[in-house]
Structure 1
C-alpha cells in the first residue's frame, strides 16, 4: 500500500469512528435531559467537560513547553479556530436543539444533515472549485437514505423558527467541514479540537445558564430505556467518547480526505444514532428505516471513492496515544 492509500485508509477509519462516536451521544444525552437537565445544559456539560479533558491532554502528551508551543503556533489561525468553535461546535448543537424542540426530531435531523449539500454548493459556487461528481452522487444517495431513516413523512408540520434553526444547524455543520478543510496542514488536530472546544464552552456558557445546572443528576441512577446507569457515567461517556474522541477523529478524518468526502461519510452518524437508540432505549426500527440505513451506507461508500489529493500529514500530527481509550 502506497503512502496516499495509507493516508486515505486512515482518513476513512477516522471519519467512520467519528460518526459512530457522535451518534453514540444520542441515547445517553437524552437520558440526562429526561433526568432534569435542559438540552443546552447537557450540551454545555458535554463541551466544557471535553475542553477540560483535552487541553491538559495536549500539554501532557507534548510536554508543557511543546504543548504551549503548539498553541502559540495556532495563534495566526485563531480567527478561523474561533469561528470553528462558534459554528461547528456550539452553533451546530444549539441550533439543532432549538429545531428539535419545534419540529419532529426526524425533520430536525434531516435539516441538520443537509450540511454536506451546503459544503458542495460552497465549494462550487463560492470557491469556484470543481466538485467531485462521485462525492456529489454519494451525498444525494445518503440524503435519500436519511429521509427514510428519520421517516420525514411522519408528523410533518411547518414552523418558521424551527425551520430556520434546522437550516442554521446545517450551515454550522457545513462550516465545520469547510473550516477544518482550510486548516488542513496548518494546525494539528489536537490543537484544532482543543481551541474549538474552549471557544464553544465559553459561548454556550452565555446561553445555557450552567450556574443553574441540576448537579444532583450526576450522582443518582438515571433511566436509560429499561435499564439504569449512574448519571456521572453517562456524562463521562458523552464527554470522552462522543465529544473528545469524536472531534479528534473527525478533524483527523477531514484533514486526510476532504470536506466533500468526509461530509458524506458523516451520514453514518444518523444510522449509528438510530441503531444505538434501538439498542439502549428500545426504540424500534421499521423495515423502511432499516432499508434507509443501508442506503445511507451505500451513499457514504460511493462518496468515499472520490479521490481528493491530500499531502501526507507529518508523522507527529496525531500520536497514537491521543486516541487510545
Structure 2
C-alpha cells in the first residue's frame, strides 16, 4: 500500500522534472539571441542556482554538508567542472548553433559513452544488450545529423553537443563513484558553486549585457521580459527541476526515474517548436526516437540498479543536468 501511494506522486515528480529541464534550451537560446553568449547564459543559470541551493544545503544539512564536502572534494570539484560547467555551457553552445531538439539529442548520447568507458577504459564486461543499445543509438544519431546529406550540420554545434554528451557521461560516472557518501542536495550545491566560479573566469559577469534584463526579448511571436527568462531558467529549469528529480528518485527506483527523464528530450523539442518555431525533419524526428531508445537500452543494461540516471542537474543538469540541459 505504501509503495502504491508513493508511485503516483513519484511519477508526477519525474515528469515535472523532465519537462522543467526541457525548457532550459528554448529559454536559454532566446537569451543568447538577445545578446548573451552561451557561456554568459550558462554562468547566469549556474550562479543563480548556487545562490538558492547553497544556503538551502547549509540550512538543511548543516555541519554534515561540510564534512561531506571535505571528504569528497576532488570528486565534487570534477563534478562541478564537467557535470555542471562543462555540460551546461556546451549544451548552450550547441543549442545556439543547432535546433534545440538536435542539441538535446546529442547530449542524450551520454549513456552510450558510459558504456564505451566501462568497456574500453575500465575493461569491464558489459551485457550484450548494452552493445545493442549503443548500435541503436548511433544509428539514430546518424539520422539526426543526416549523414547522407554530407553532414551539413554546423560542425562546431555538433562537436559542442557531443562534448555535452561526454560531460553528461562524466556526470553519471561521478555520481556512481560518490554513491551515498554525499547527499544529493549537498552534491548539487557544491557542484553548482564550482561551476559558477569556473564559468566566471570564462565569462566574467562584468561583460554580461545586463541591460537585456530590462528589455523585451523576442520569444516566438512575442516579446518576453529578459528578467522573466532568467528567473525561469534559474528557478524552473534548474531548481524546481532538480528538487522534483530528487523527490522522484526517493519515491521510485533510480532506473525508473531515469527512464522517465528521457522525456526531457521530447519536452525540449516541443518547447523549441512552440516558442522558437524550430522544426525537425521527419528523418530527424525518427532518428531522435531511435537515439532515445538506444540510450535507454544501453543505460538500463549497464546499471539496472545504480542511481546513475538521476535527473539533474543539466543542473541538465542540475540542471544541473544539467542545467540541462
TM-score normalised by L of structure 1: 0.75
* 1:272 aligns to 2:267 (yes or no): yes
Deviation at 1:53, TM superposition (A): 0.9
Q: Please tell me the root mean square deviation across aligned C-alpha atoms, in Å.
A: 3.9
1:248: Cα distance to partner?
4.7
Is it true that 1:58 corresponds to 2:24 in the alignment?
no
Match of 2:214 in 1: 219
- The CA deviation at 1:19 is 4.0
Question: What stretches of structure 2 of length at least 5 have no aligned partner?
Answer: 308-325
Partners in 1 of 2:287 and 2:48 — Cα distance?
A: 34
- Match for residue 286 of structure 2 among 291, 295, 298: 291
Any residues of structure 2 matched to 1:59-98 within 5 Å, and which? 59-60=58-59, 62=60, 66-98=61-93
Deviation at 1:198, TM superposition (A): 0.3
Instruction: Give the whole-Å Cα distance in 2 for the aligned partners of 1:282 and 1:213.
Output: 26
Any residues of structure 2 matched to 1:177-196 within 5 Å, and which? 177-196=172-191
CA distance change for structure 1 residues 253 and 171 in 2, over 3 Å: closer, same or farther? farther
User: Alignment length, in residue pairs?
Assistant: 304
1:40 is aligned to: 39
CA distance in 2, matches of 1:113, 1:145: 12
Query: What displacement does 1:55 show?
Result: 1.1
Report the alpha carbon displacement of residue 16 of structure 1 after superposing the two structures with TM.
5.5
Task: Summarize the Cα distance change of 1:276–1:98 in structure 2 as closer, same or farther, 3 Å threshold.
Answer: closer
Aligned to 2:304: 308
Q: Is the 8 A contact 2:97 2:157 kept in 1?
A: yes
Contact in 2 for aligned 1:18/1:250 (Cα 8 Å)? yes
What are the superposed Cα offsets for residues 79-98 of structure 1, whole Å, 9 maximum, x if unpaired? 10110000111112334455
Shift, 1:162, TM fit: 6.4
Identify the residue that residue 254 of structure 2 maps to in structure 1: 257
Query: Is 1:175 matched with 2:174?
Result: no
C-alpha displacement of 1:241? 2.1
Q: Is there any run of 5+ residues in structure 1 with no aligned partner, and where? A: 312-325
Structure 1 residue 72: deviation in Å? 2.2
More divergent stretch after superposition (17-26 vs 154-163): 154-163
CA distance in 1, matches of 2:40, 2:103: 19
Q: Distance in 1 between matches of 2:232 and 2:181?
A: 30
Distance 1:235 1:47 in 2: 11
Tell me how far 1:148 sits from its aligned partner: 3.7
Whether the aligned pair in 1 keeps the contact of 2:106 and 2:141 (CA below 8 Å) is no
Give secondary structure in 2 for the equivalent of 1:131.
Answer: coil
How big is the shift at 1:285? 4.2
CA drift at 1:171: 2.1
Moved more, 273-282 or 198-207: 273-282
* TM-score, normalisation: structure 2: 0.75
TM-aligned CA deviation for residue 28 of structure 1: 0.8
> What is the alpha-carbon distance in structure 2 between the residues aligned to residue 265 and residue 279 of structure 1?
22
Instruction: Tell me if the contact between 1:149 and 1:271 (Cα under 8 Å) persists in the aligned partners.
Output: no
Quote the Cα distance in structure 2 between the aligned partners of 1:147 and 1:267: 19
Q: CA deviation at 1:231?
A: 1.3
